[in-house]
Amino acid sequence: EKITISVLKADIGSLVGNSTIPEIFEETASDILDRYKGEKIFDYFVSHVGDDLNLILLHNKGENNREIHEIAFEIFKKNSEIAKEMNLYGAGGDLIKKEFTGSLIGMGPGVAEMEFTLRSPESIIVFAADKTESGAFNYPLFQMFANPFNTPGLVIDPDMRPGFRFEVWDLYNHKRIYLNSPEEIYDLLLLVGTSERFAIKRVYPRSDKYPKDEPVAVSSTERLYEEAGKYAGKDDPVMIVRAQKGFPAVGEILEAFSFPYMVNGWMRGSYWGPLLPVSLKNARATRFDGPPRVIALGFQVKKDKLYGPEDMFDDPAFDYTRNKALEIADYIRRHGPFEPHRVSYEDLLTTTAKPILDKLIQRFEDIK
Ligand code: 13P
Ligand code: 13P
Ligand code: MG
Ligand code: MG
Ligand code: MG
Protein backbone atom coordinates (compact mmCIF):
# COMPACT_ATOMS: atom_id res chain seq x y z
CA GLU A 1 0.00 0.00 0.00
CA LYS A 2 1.40 3.38 -1.04
CA ILE A 3 1.28 6.54 0.99
CA THR A 4 2.60 10.03 0.32
CA ILE A 5 4.36 12.41 2.68
CA SER A 6 4.40 16.01 1.49
CA VAL A 7 6.38 18.71 3.21
CA LEU A 8 5.48 22.15 1.88
CA LYS A 9 6.98 25.34 3.24
CA ALA A 10 7.02 29.09 2.75
CA ASP A 11 8.12 32.33 4.38
CA ILE A 12 5.01 34.46 4.06
CA GLY A 13 5.79 37.04 6.74
CA SER A 14 7.76 37.20 9.94
CA LEU A 15 8.36 38.91 13.25
CA VAL A 16 10.58 40.47 14.39
CA GLY A 17 12.42 41.09 11.13
CA ASN A 18 13.25 37.61 9.79
CA SER A 19 13.32 35.92 13.22
CA THR A 20 10.18 33.82 13.54
CA ILE A 21 6.47 33.61 12.72
CA PRO A 22 3.41 34.60 14.78
CA GLU A 23 1.46 31.74 16.40
CA ILE A 24 -1.59 32.63 14.36
CA PHE A 25 0.08 31.23 11.21
CA GLU A 26 0.19 27.73 12.70
CA GLU A 27 -3.32 28.09 14.10
CA THR A 28 -4.69 29.20 10.73
CA ALA A 29 -2.89 26.31 9.02
CA SER A 30 -4.31 23.80 11.53
CA ASP A 31 -7.83 25.20 11.14
CA ILE A 32 -7.68 24.81 7.37
CA LEU A 33 -6.08 21.34 7.55
CA ASP A 34 -8.72 20.16 10.05
CA ARG A 35 -11.31 20.88 7.36
CA TYR A 36 -9.59 18.47 4.95
CA LYS A 37 -8.51 15.84 7.48
CA GLY A 38 -10.24 12.51 6.96
CA GLU A 39 -11.12 13.58 3.44
CA LYS A 40 -8.22 14.76 1.24
CA ILE A 41 -5.50 14.19 3.85
CA PHE A 42 -5.16 11.53 6.53
CA ASP A 43 -3.08 13.43 9.04
CA TYR A 44 -0.79 16.44 9.35
CA PHE A 45 1.60 18.36 11.54
CA VAL A 46 2.28 22.09 11.33
CA SER A 47 5.60 23.54 12.43
CA HIS A 48 8.13 26.25 11.72
CA VAL A 49 11.83 26.96 11.81
CA GLY A 50 12.77 30.63 11.96
CA ASP A 51 10.44 32.53 9.64
CA ASP A 52 9.43 29.51 7.54
CA LEU A 53 6.08 27.79 8.03
CA ASN A 54 6.22 24.01 7.43
CA LEU A 55 3.25 21.79 6.58
CA ILE A 56 3.79 18.05 6.94
CA LEU A 57 0.95 16.16 5.24
CA LEU A 58 0.13 12.45 5.08
CA HIS A 59 -2.15 11.37 2.22
CA ASN A 60 -2.38 8.90 -0.65
CA LYS A 61 -2.65 11.21 -3.65
CA GLY A 62 0.95 10.93 -4.84
CA GLU A 63 3.58 13.61 -5.49
CA ASN A 64 2.83 17.01 -7.01
CA ASN A 65 -0.90 16.48 -6.57
CA ARG A 66 -3.08 19.44 -7.48
CA GLU A 67 -5.55 19.08 -4.59
CA ILE A 68 -2.79 18.76 -1.97
CA HIS A 69 -0.81 21.71 -3.33
CA GLU A 70 -3.97 23.78 -3.48
CA ILE A 71 -4.60 23.21 0.24
CA ALA A 72 -1.07 24.45 0.99
CA PHE A 73 -1.59 27.39 -1.33
CA GLU A 74 -4.80 28.29 0.52
CA ILE A 75 -2.87 28.25 3.83
CA PHE A 76 0.03 30.32 2.53
CA LYS A 77 -2.34 32.80 0.91
CA LYS A 78 -4.52 33.20 4.00
CA ASN A 79 -1.43 33.70 6.18
CA SER A 80 -0.04 36.23 3.68
CA GLU A 81 -3.20 38.26 4.18
CA ILE A 82 -2.84 38.04 7.95
CA ALA A 83 0.82 39.06 7.61
CA LYS A 84 -0.14 42.14 5.58
CA GLU A 85 -2.81 42.99 8.13
CA MET A 86 -0.21 42.71 10.93
CA ASN A 87 2.38 44.67 8.93
CA LEU A 88 4.87 41.83 9.30
CA TYR A 89 8.23 41.72 7.60
CA GLY A 90 8.17 40.23 4.10
CA ALA A 91 4.39 39.66 4.10
CA GLY A 92 3.49 37.21 1.33
CA GLY A 93 7.19 37.10 0.39
CA ASP A 94 7.69 33.52 -0.82
CA LEU A 95 4.36 33.46 -2.65
CA ILE A 96 5.85 34.91 -5.80
CA LYS A 97 2.92 33.92 -8.00
CA LYS A 98 -0.44 35.01 -6.69
CA GLU A 99 -2.75 32.67 -8.61
CA PHE A 100 -2.71 28.89 -8.21
CA THR A 101 -2.28 27.08 -11.50
CA GLY A 102 -2.00 23.43 -10.44
CA SER A 103 1.28 23.03 -8.56
CA LEU A 104 3.27 24.90 -5.91
CA ILE A 105 6.47 24.06 -7.77
CA GLY A 106 7.78 27.22 -9.40
CA MET A 107 5.55 29.49 -7.30
CA GLY A 108 8.10 30.22 -4.55
CA PRO A 109 7.37 27.74 -1.74
CA GLY A 110 9.69 24.77 -1.08
CA VAL A 111 8.44 21.25 -1.79
CA ALA A 112 9.75 17.83 -0.64
CA GLU A 113 7.47 14.88 -1.28
CA MET A 114 7.76 11.13 -1.49
CA GLU A 115 5.33 8.37 -2.39
CA PHE A 116 6.33 4.93 -1.17
CA THR A 117 5.10 1.50 -0.17
CA LEU A 118 4.53 1.64 3.57
CA ARG A 119 6.76 -0.77 5.46
CA SER A 120 5.99 -2.27 8.81
CA PRO A 121 7.27 -0.49 10.83
CA GLU A 122 8.00 2.87 9.18
CA SER A 123 9.91 5.77 10.79
CA ILE A 124 10.62 9.12 9.17
CA ILE A 125 12.47 12.26 10.16
CA VAL A 126 11.50 15.61 8.70
CA PHE A 127 14.22 18.25 8.69
CA ALA A 128 13.62 21.95 8.12
CA ALA A 129 16.32 24.62 8.00
CA ASP A 130 16.31 28.42 8.02
CA LYS A 131 18.84 30.93 6.68
CA THR A 132 20.31 28.52 4.19
CA GLU A 133 19.82 26.90 0.77
CA SER A 134 18.82 23.62 -0.85
CA GLY A 135 22.34 22.21 -1.12
CA ALA A 136 22.69 22.58 2.66
CA PHE A 137 21.56 18.97 3.00
CA ASN A 138 24.29 17.60 0.70
CA TYR A 139 26.75 17.08 3.53
CA PRO A 140 24.41 15.19 5.90
CA LEU A 141 22.88 13.14 3.04
CA PHE A 142 26.34 11.99 2.01
CA GLN A 143 27.17 11.16 5.61
CA MET A 144 23.94 9.18 6.14
CA PHE A 145 23.94 7.19 2.93
CA ALA A 146 27.55 6.95 1.81
CA ASN A 147 29.94 7.30 4.74
CA PRO A 148 30.47 4.17 6.87
CA PHE A 149 32.16 6.26 9.56
CA ASN A 150 28.80 8.00 10.08
CA THR A 151 26.60 5.02 9.23
CA PRO A 152 28.12 1.69 10.27
CA GLY A 153 24.96 0.02 8.90
CA LEU A 154 26.59 0.40 5.46
CA VAL A 155 29.16 -2.13 6.67
CA ILE A 156 27.13 -4.44 8.89
CA ASP A 157 23.56 -4.46 7.53
CA PRO A 158 23.20 -6.87 4.57
CA ASP A 159 20.40 -4.74 3.09
CA MET A 160 22.55 -1.60 3.11
CA ARG A 161 25.66 -3.16 1.61
CA PRO A 162 24.43 -2.72 -2.01
CA GLY A 163 24.61 1.04 -1.29
CA PHE A 164 22.36 3.86 -2.44
CA ARG A 165 21.68 5.79 -5.64
CA PHE A 166 21.90 9.59 -5.53
CA GLU A 167 19.85 11.89 -7.77
CA VAL A 168 21.77 15.16 -8.04
CA TRP A 169 20.33 18.31 -9.60
CA ASP A 170 22.30 21.03 -11.34
CA LEU A 171 20.26 23.96 -10.04
CA TYR A 172 21.76 26.42 -12.53
CA ASN A 173 20.76 24.44 -15.61
CA HIS A 174 17.81 22.41 -14.35
CA LYS A 175 19.39 19.06 -15.24
CA ARG A 176 20.00 15.93 -13.20
CA ILE A 177 22.45 13.06 -12.92
CA TYR A 178 22.24 9.70 -11.09
CA LEU A 179 25.33 8.44 -9.26
CA ASN A 180 25.75 5.14 -7.44
CA SER A 181 27.38 4.81 -4.06
CA PRO A 182 29.82 3.31 -3.22
CA GLU A 183 31.43 2.97 -6.68
CA GLU A 184 30.90 6.57 -7.84
CA ILE A 185 31.38 8.48 -4.59
CA TYR A 186 34.35 10.42 -5.93
CA ASP A 187 32.21 11.78 -8.78
CA LEU A 188 29.40 12.45 -6.35
CA LEU A 189 31.65 14.44 -4.02
CA LEU A 190 33.19 16.34 -6.91
CA LEU A 191 29.74 17.75 -7.66
CA VAL A 192 27.90 18.05 -4.36
CA GLY A 193 30.84 19.77 -2.66
CA THR A 194 29.57 22.82 -4.59
CA SER A 195 26.32 23.04 -2.69
CA GLU A 196 25.18 26.35 -4.24
CA ARG A 197 24.90 24.67 -7.62
CA PHE A 198 24.56 20.90 -7.15
CA ALA A 199 21.97 19.61 -4.71
CA ILE A 200 21.07 16.05 -3.77
CA LYS A 201 17.38 15.86 -4.63
CA ARG A 202 16.67 12.22 -3.80
CA VAL A 203 18.37 9.08 -2.54
CA TYR A 204 17.14 5.61 -3.59
CA PRO A 205 17.85 2.14 -2.16
CA ARG A 206 19.83 -0.37 -4.27
CA SER A 207 18.89 -3.42 -2.22
CA ASP A 208 16.50 -5.84 -3.96
CA LYS A 209 14.42 -5.82 -0.82
CA TYR A 210 12.85 -2.45 -1.61
CA PRO A 211 11.38 -0.87 -4.77
CA LYS A 212 14.33 0.87 -6.40
CA ASP A 213 12.24 3.81 -7.62
CA GLU A 214 10.87 4.74 -4.19
CA PRO A 215 13.12 7.28 -2.45
CA VAL A 216 14.50 6.95 1.06
CA ALA A 217 15.27 10.66 1.18
CA VAL A 218 14.07 13.76 -0.65
CA SER A 219 14.88 17.44 -0.22
CA SER A 220 13.37 20.65 -1.58
CA THR A 221 15.50 22.22 -4.30
CA GLU A 222 13.45 25.28 -5.27
CA ARG A 223 15.62 28.36 -5.71
CA LEU A 224 13.80 31.58 -4.88
CA TYR A 225 16.31 33.57 -6.86
CA GLU A 226 15.42 31.69 -10.04
CA GLU A 227 11.71 31.82 -9.40
CA ALA A 228 11.57 35.52 -8.48
CA GLY A 229 14.25 36.62 -10.95
CA LYS A 230 15.90 38.62 -8.15
CA TYR A 231 16.95 38.22 -4.50
CA ALA A 232 13.85 37.31 -2.49
CA GLY A 233 15.27 35.76 0.69
CA LYS A 234 16.89 32.36 1.03
CA ASP A 235 15.45 29.02 0.05
CA ASP A 236 15.43 27.53 3.55
CA PRO A 237 15.06 23.86 2.56
CA VAL A 238 13.12 20.92 4.00
CA MET A 239 13.91 17.23 3.75
CA ILE A 240 12.25 13.88 4.51
CA VAL A 241 14.36 10.82 5.41
CA ARG A 242 13.04 7.30 6.04
CA ALA A 243 14.77 5.25 8.72
CA GLN A 244 15.53 1.72 9.92
CA LYS A 245 15.44 -1.75 8.36
CA GLY A 246 17.81 -1.52 5.42
CA PHE A 247 17.91 2.26 5.64
CA PRO A 248 20.04 4.26 8.11
CA ALA A 249 18.97 3.99 11.74
CA VAL A 250 17.37 7.08 13.28
CA GLY A 251 20.59 7.62 15.21
CA GLU A 252 22.71 7.36 12.05
CA ILE A 253 20.49 9.97 10.39
CA LEU A 254 20.80 12.37 13.33
CA GLU A 255 24.54 11.70 13.65
CA ALA A 256 25.04 13.44 10.30
CA PHE A 257 24.17 16.72 12.05
CA SER A 258 26.56 16.24 14.97
CA PHE A 259 29.23 18.22 13.12
CA PRO A 260 28.31 21.91 12.70
CA TYR A 261 29.28 22.10 9.02
CA MET A 262 29.21 25.38 7.13
CA VAL A 263 26.21 26.42 5.05
CA ASN A 264 25.46 29.27 2.69
CA GLY A 265 22.61 31.70 3.39
CA TRP A 266 23.13 33.53 6.68
CA MET A 267 22.44 37.32 6.91
CA ARG A 268 20.82 38.66 3.72
CA GLY A 269 21.49 35.34 2.05
CA SER A 270 25.08 36.50 1.64
CA TYR A 271 27.15 34.76 4.33
CA TRP A 272 28.41 31.31 5.26
CA GLY A 273 27.95 30.07 8.79
CA PRO A 274 27.72 26.87 10.84
CA LEU A 275 24.43 24.96 10.91
CA LEU A 276 22.99 24.82 14.43
CA PRO A 277 20.73 21.84 15.24
CA VAL A 278 18.00 23.17 17.56
CA SER A 279 14.86 22.14 19.42
CA LEU A 280 11.52 23.61 18.40
CA LYS A 281 11.66 26.10 21.24
CA ASN A 282 14.91 27.49 19.85
CA ALA A 283 13.76 27.50 16.24
CA ARG A 284 14.10 31.25 15.76
CA ALA A 285 16.84 33.36 14.27
CA THR A 286 18.66 35.96 16.38
CA ARG A 287 22.39 36.58 16.13
CA PHE A 288 23.24 38.14 12.76
CA ASP A 289 19.78 36.84 11.71
CA GLY A 290 20.87 33.31 12.55
CA PRO A 291 23.00 31.35 12.92
CA PRO A 292 21.44 29.06 10.30
CA ARG A 293 19.31 26.50 12.12
CA VAL A 294 17.83 23.07 11.53
CA ILE A 295 15.07 21.18 13.36
CA ALA A 296 14.41 17.42 13.22
CA LEU A 297 10.91 16.03 13.75
CA GLY A 298 10.60 12.27 14.11
CA PHE A 299 7.38 10.40 13.30
CA GLN A 300 6.28 6.80 13.36
CA VAL A 301 4.00 6.42 10.36
CA LYS A 302 0.85 4.37 9.98
CA LYS A 303 -1.13 4.41 6.74
CA ASP A 304 -3.48 7.08 8.05
CA LYS A 305 -1.66 8.49 11.07
CA LEU A 306 1.51 10.29 12.07
CA TYR A 307 2.63 9.44 15.61
CA GLY A 308 4.82 12.26 16.87
CA PRO A 309 6.59 14.45 16.47
CA GLU A 310 9.57 13.74 18.63
CA ASP A 311 11.69 16.90 18.77
CA MET A 312 14.91 15.02 18.01
CA PHE A 313 17.46 17.80 18.58
CA ASP A 314 15.94 18.70 21.95
CA ASP A 315 18.67 16.78 23.69
CA PRO A 316 21.90 17.54 25.58
CA ALA A 317 23.60 15.05 23.24
CA PHE A 318 23.67 17.91 20.70
CA ASP A 319 24.98 20.54 23.16
CA TYR A 320 28.56 19.88 22.15
CA THR A 321 27.63 20.45 18.48
CA ARG A 322 25.77 23.63 19.40
CA ASN A 323 28.65 24.98 21.48
CA LYS A 324 31.08 24.21 18.69
CA ALA A 325 28.76 25.93 16.21
CA LEU A 326 28.66 29.06 18.37
CA GLU A 327 32.45 29.12 18.59
CA ILE A 328 32.68 28.78 14.80
CA ALA A 329 30.01 31.44 14.35
CA ASP A 330 32.06 33.83 16.44
CA TYR A 331 35.25 33.04 14.55
CA ILE A 332 33.79 33.37 11.06
CA ARG A 333 31.88 36.56 11.99
CA ARG A 334 35.18 38.38 12.55
CA HIS A 335 35.78 38.16 8.81
CA GLY A 336 33.02 40.75 8.35
CA PRO A 337 32.46 41.30 4.63
CA PHE A 338 35.42 39.11 3.59
CA GLU A 339 35.26 35.63 2.09
CA PRO A 340 34.93 32.86 3.12
CA HIS A 341 32.34 34.37 5.50
CA ARG A 342 30.77 36.37 2.68
CA VAL A 343 29.64 34.25 -0.28
CA SER A 344 31.64 34.10 -3.51
CA TYR A 345 31.43 36.83 -6.12
CA GLU A 346 29.33 34.62 -8.38
CA ASP A 347 26.90 33.91 -5.57
CA LEU A 348 26.77 37.58 -4.60
CA LEU A 349 25.18 38.18 -8.00
CA THR A 350 22.03 36.44 -6.69
CA THR A 351 21.74 38.89 -3.76
CA THR A 352 20.77 42.56 -3.44
CA ALA A 353 24.39 43.39 -4.34
CA LYS A 354 23.86 42.59 -8.03
CA PRO A 355 22.85 46.07 -9.31
CA ILE A 356 25.62 47.67 -7.26
CA LEU A 357 28.23 45.30 -8.68
CA ASP A 358 26.90 45.73 -12.22
CA LYS A 359 27.44 49.48 -11.96
CA LEU A 360 30.82 49.19 -10.29
CA ILE A 361 32.12 46.84 -12.98
CA GLN A 362 31.25 49.51 -15.61
CA ARG A 363 33.63 51.93 -13.88
CA PHE A 364 36.73 49.73 -14.38
CA GLU A 365 39.18 51.11 -16.94
CA ASP A 366 41.95 49.38 -18.90
CA ILE A 367 45.44 49.33 -17.40
CA LYS A 368 47.90 50.56 -20.05
P1 13P B 1 17.59 -1.50 21.23
O2 13P B 1 18.20 -2.76 21.80
O3 13P B 1 17.49 -0.42 22.27
O4 13P B 1 16.29 -1.77 20.51
O5 13P B 1 18.62 -0.90 20.17
C6 13P B 1 18.67 -1.23 18.84
C7 13P B 1 19.84 -0.52 18.25
O8 13P B 1 20.96 -0.96 18.36
C9 13P B 1 19.62 0.75 17.55
O10 13P B 1 20.77 1.26 16.96
P1 13P C 1 14.93 34.45 4.99
O2 13P C 1 15.15 33.79 3.66
O3 13P C 1 14.83 33.46 6.09
O4 13P C 1 13.77 35.39 4.95
O5 13P C 1 16.24 35.25 5.33
C6 13P C 1 16.42 36.55 5.01
C7 13P C 1 17.75 36.97 5.53
O8 13P C 1 18.76 36.59 4.99
C9 13P C 1 17.80 37.80 6.71
O10 13P C 1 19.09 38.25 7.01
MG1 MG D 1 12.20 36.01 5.90
MG1 MG E 1 13.59 31.83 6.26
MG1 MG F 1 13.67 32.36 2.93
| Cβ count near 99 (within 10 Å) | 7
DSSP string, 3-67: EEEEEEEE---BBTTTTB--HHHHHHHHHHHHHHBTTTBSEEEEEEETTEEEEEEEESS-TT-HH
Known catalytic residues?
Answer: 11, 231, 234
- Spatial neighbors of 51 by CB under 8 A, at least 6 apart, are 11, 13, 14, 18, 19, 20, 21, 89, 90, 130, 285
Q: Quick one: pLDDT at residue 227? A: 86
Render pLDDT for 311-328 as a digit per residue (tens, 0 to 9).
999 999 999 999 999 999
* Res. 233 pLDDT band, cuts 50 70 90: confident
* Res. 228 pLDDT band, cuts 50 70 90: confident
Ligand nearest to the CA of 128: 4
For the Cβ of 249 lying below 6 angstroms from any atom of ligand 1, the answer is yes
Average pLDDT over residues 106-122: 96
Does position 232 have pLDDT exceeding 90, yes or no?
A: no
Query: What residues are neighbours of ligand 4 (ion), with CB under 5 Å?
Result: 11, 50-52, 130, 236
ipTM over 0.95: no
Q: Report CA(38)–ligand 5 centroid distance (Å).
A: 31
Q: Report CA(259)–ligand 1 centroid distance (Å).
A: 23
How far is residue 183's CA from residue 4's CA, in Å, rounded to a whole number? 30
Average pLDDT over residues 205-210: 97
* Res. 120 pLDDT band, cuts 50 70 90: very high
Q: Quick one: pLDDT at residue 231? A: 85
More confident position, 226 or 219: 219
Ligand nearest to the CA of 235: 5
Q: Quick one: pLDDT at residue 229? A: 87
For the Cβ of 251 lying below 6 angstroms from any atom of ligand 1, the answer is yes
Q: Quick one: pLDDT at residue 123? A: 98
Q: Quick one: pLDDT at residue 262? A: 98
Q: Is the dihedral of CA 316, 317, 322, 323 positive or negative?
A: positive
For the Cβ of 62 lying below 6 angstroms from any atom of ligand 1, the answer is no
Does position 244 have pLDDT exceeding 90, yes or no?
A: yes
Q: Report CA(51)–ligand 5 centroid distance (Å).
A: 7
Percent of the chain with pLDDT over 70: 100
Ligand 1, atom 7, lies closest to the CA of 249
Ligand 1, atom 9, lies closest to the CA of 249
Contact residues of ligand 2, CB 6 A cut-off: 11, 18, 50-51, 90, 130-131, 233-234, 236, 267-269, 289
Does position 217 have pLDDT exceeding 90, yes or no?
A: yes
Q: Chain-wide mean pLDDT for the chain? A: 97
- Spatial neighbors of 102 by CB under 8 A, at least 6 apart, are 66, 69
Ligand 1, atom 8, lies closest to the CA of 249
Render pLDDT for 27-65 as a digit per residue (tens, 0 to 9).
999 999 999 999 999 999 999 999 999 999 999 999 999
Average pLDDT over residues 128-154: 97
